Structure 1
Amino acid sequence: MTFVEEITAYENWMRTVCDVVEDDLERKHERMSKNAFKFLRATFFRWAHAVKATAPEILGLPAPLAVGDVHVENFGTWRDAETRLVWGVNDYDDAAEIPYASDILRLTVSVRLADFSVGNRDAAQAIFEGYGDGLRDPGPTLLDQKEMWMRDYVAVTDKQRESFWNEIDGYPDASPSSEAKTALLASLPAGSEFERFARASKGGGSLGRPRFVAVARWRGGRIAREAKALVSSGWDWAAGNPDRSSKLDDVMNGVTSAPDPFLHTARGFIVRRIAADTRKLERDSDFDQKLDTKLLRAMGSEIGSIHASTSRLKEAILGDLERRDPSWLYETAKATASAVEADFTEWSVSNA
């Protein structure tokens, strides 16, 4: 199946499971045409096809609860139940049981396609070694107690705090579905003074799914919650299992994690607290300067830690990993990135 045929099939399926925002879908198509990295972010449903074409051997590897749509911008910060500042994977929309190598391969491909200053071979080595670290010694990245070096990478400036609320205030008013309203209002603390519902238009792969925000006041300040439509993992869709239940809650609440207590699924939506210090770290000039092999190693370690929560597969994954080396990851990412770029070219030509 060509890419254009597959995206058409995927989006037609999406229309049967949620109220697709067609304007956002058009915006997503425009973003996909900008470069191969944005294209990768928007097309996880196609990833299984790329892996099958370039690295079919990994499809038979142990398949733990995995992130799925891993890329270099899918990391961020939140506060856990003890209000500790945690860094890690920020988006589990496409979580599923997936061969373990897929997550580290996709992260490595994303670095290559994003064209950071970090060399591709160095990036592959950092991610590969970090993954082994996280698998052997799993646990959350707690910035208040352990990985304090990372604070410089995620610090929130006054300008960013102001920008966060300016963005919220710029969202247009909206009338969410009854399911989204109920889920959002239930997520607010007792005694909140509700202000308004708004519609947010953002994301990479999720752009096109309905996304709403509830703004309220609580004990002297403003607070916000977000609800985004939940659909099955693109991996399961590609495997012909579009009705398989999402594994988001299972992966996020794994025993090796310090989960965000405000992030949960309800009434067909993913609900979370949003704030200036609970955010996805997306690419900008500052992020480009900060991304280095130390941070990539931490990303690899986070993925390894997540996979380790499927304890029954840990030893099997370690056994397979020890038969490989960073050169395998480098070469496989190179071939898979070429497959993604071929799809990107097809898409660009079809939309010229």
Structure 2
Amino acid sequence: MTVQTATAAYEKWLAARIPVVPEDLKLKHHELAGDPLRFLRGTYYLWLERVAVLAPDLLAGPQVPTVGDLHVENFGTWRDHRGVRRWGVNDFDELAWGPPTLDLLRLAVSAVLTPQVAISPKRICRVLLDAWSTAKPGRAVDLAGPGAKHLRALVPKPPSAARYYGKLREGAAADPSSLPAAVRKAVAVPDASWHRRQAGTGSLGHPRLVAVGHDLAREVKVVGPATADYVDVGLQPDDLLYGRILSTLRGPDPMRRIAGWQLRGLSPDVERIAIESLRPRAVELVLTSMAHAAADVHGAVPHHLREARRHVGTLPSDWLLEGTQRLTKDTTALYKQYAG
């Protein structure tokens, strides 16, 4: 089966379960041909299939809450319900019970595929595994805290509020009347104008609207089914995980799921740290923080993480590097096939 055929089959399955936006899927197809990292981000269904073929042993062992679709661009800043600015994993569309090895493998592959990363694949894997193995899970990083100096220095300067909200208003006008009443009520943006929004890669095609006020914006997106329901590799989607993880991390406020839609706030200071072109030491520090943030998710149920760490400790010492090399090579080959 070609990448195009596999993608068409997945999108047919998805369209049978949620309404999809054809023009957004067309944009997604274009973006998949952009570079290998973008391709990885947008083809989680292929990733699960290929891991089952190329690294099946990594799908075994004790399960923890896993991000699933984890990669270096799945981390960013937010404000929690107390106004504390935090940094950590910020996309939980594919949360499921699964082995933490899957998250570590995907994170490592994404780092290797990121252009102009200044450290070797071997070093990437060592940094991630060492940091994850020793991390003390808890809340997401408080950016004002003493241990976040390196992150504060790398967070980009946010755009002006006028520019940011003006950009959101450039989206095509949208009619919110099709939204469930509970979703419209939860948005609560005074004097809002409603617009369509195209964002992300893997979720392009899901209906996504944004309500923009004077200095406030809220996005709602159809959640859709978990990809683990389409590709059965032993992951266990669990609707209760979403709230549990957000509570554990002190996640973004507002961020919740209502009647099949996901609500989240948008603001100029929601930023991510890019690792491309950073100096080697800065790359290592950010990757260490990413591994800690993954452990925060995995450790939401502490005894599960302890069992999983014991299992990982029994694996061959080069398991992460070997798996990363195999999946990086495979992802690059699939990308080249797709991009032609």
TM over 0.5, yes or no?
A: yes
In 1, are the aligned partners of 2:137 and 2:297 still within 8 Å (CA)? no
Q: Measure, in 1, the Cα distance between the counterparts of 2:325 and 2:283.
A: 19
Residues 94-119 of structure 1: per-residue CA shift (max 9 Å, x gap) = 11112110001000000111232232
Q: What is the correspondence of 1:18-97 to structure 2 with a 5 Å cutoff? A: 18-97=18-97
1:287 deviates by: 5.9
Supply the AA of the counterpart residue of 1:228. Answer: K
Q: Residues of 2 paired with 1:292 and 1:243: CA distance?
A: 32
Q: Any conservation in 1 of the 2:64–2:298 contact (CA below 8 Å)?
A: yes
Q: Secondary structure at the match of 1:198?
A: strand
Structure 1: segments with no counterpart, 5+ residues? none
In the other structure, the counterpart of 1:9 is 9
CA distance in 2, matches of 1:118, 1:181: 50
Whole-Å Cα distance in 2 between the matches of residues 227 and 242 of structure 1? Answer: 26
Residue range with higher mean Cα deviation, 313-322 or 263-272:
313-322
Match of 2:197 among 193, 196, 200: 200
Per the TM alignment, residue 162 of structure 1 is displaced from its structure 2 partner at its CA by 4.8
Deviation of 1:20 after TM superposition, in Å, equals 0.9
**Partner letter of residue 334 of structure 2?**
D
Which runs of no fewer than 5 residues in structure 2 stay unpaired?
Answer: none
> Can you list the C-alpha shifts for 1:227-275, whole angstroms capped at 9, x where unaligned?
11101221232118999664662453353x1222300001211100100
Aligned CA distance change for structure 1 residues 251 and 338 (closer, same or farther; 3 Å): farther
Alpha-carbon offset, residue 335 of structure 1: 0.6
- 1:44 and 1:235 in contact (8 A); partners too: no
SS at match of 1:317: helix
Is contact 2:65–2:241 with CA below 8 Å preserved after alignment? no
- 2:101 is aligned with 1:110: no
**2 CA distance for matches of 1:165 and 1:18?**
29
The yes-or-no answer on 1:333 pairing with 2:324 is yes
Deviation at 1:204, TM superposition (A): 0.9
- Among candidates 225, 243, 249, match of residue 218 of structure 2: 225
1:268-279 matched pairs, under 5 angstroms: 268-279=260-271
In the TM superposition, residue 164 of structure 1 has moved relative to its aligned partner by 2.0
Aligned partner of 2:306 among 315, 323, 326: 315
Q: Does 1:153 align with 2:164?
A: no
Match of 1:237 among 224, 230, 233: 230
- Alignment length, in residue pairs? 336
Alpha-carbon displacement from aligned partner over 1:97-150 (angstroms, at most 9, x marks no partner):
12110001000000111232232222111111121132x444321112243311
User: Contact 2:131/2:291 (CA < 8 Å) preserved in 1?
Assistant: yes
Partner Cα distance (2:276, 2:85) in 1: 19
Amino acid at match of 2:269: D
1:267 equivalenced with 2:259 (yes/no): yes
- Structure 2 CA distance, aligned partners of 1:317 and 1:245? 18
CA distance in 2, matches of 1:67, 1:89: 8
Instruction: Please report the RMSD computed on the Cα atoms of aligned residues, expressed in angstroms.
Output: 2.5
The amino acid of 2:278's aligned partner reads Q
Q: 1:247 to 1:94 in 2, by over 3 A?
A: farther
One-letter amino acid matched to 1:239: D
Q: Determine if contact 2:96/2:235 at 8 Å carries over to the other structure.
A: no
Amino acid at match of 2:323: T
Asked if structure 2 preserves the Cα contact closer than 8 Å seen for 1:125 and 1:327, the reply is no
Distance 1:147 1:25 in 2: 41
* TM-score of the pair, normalised by structure 1: 0.87
TM-score calculated relative to the size of structure 2: 0.90
Question: Is 1:258 aligned with 2:250?
Answer: yes
**Amino acid corresponding to residue 246 of structure 2 in structure 1:** N
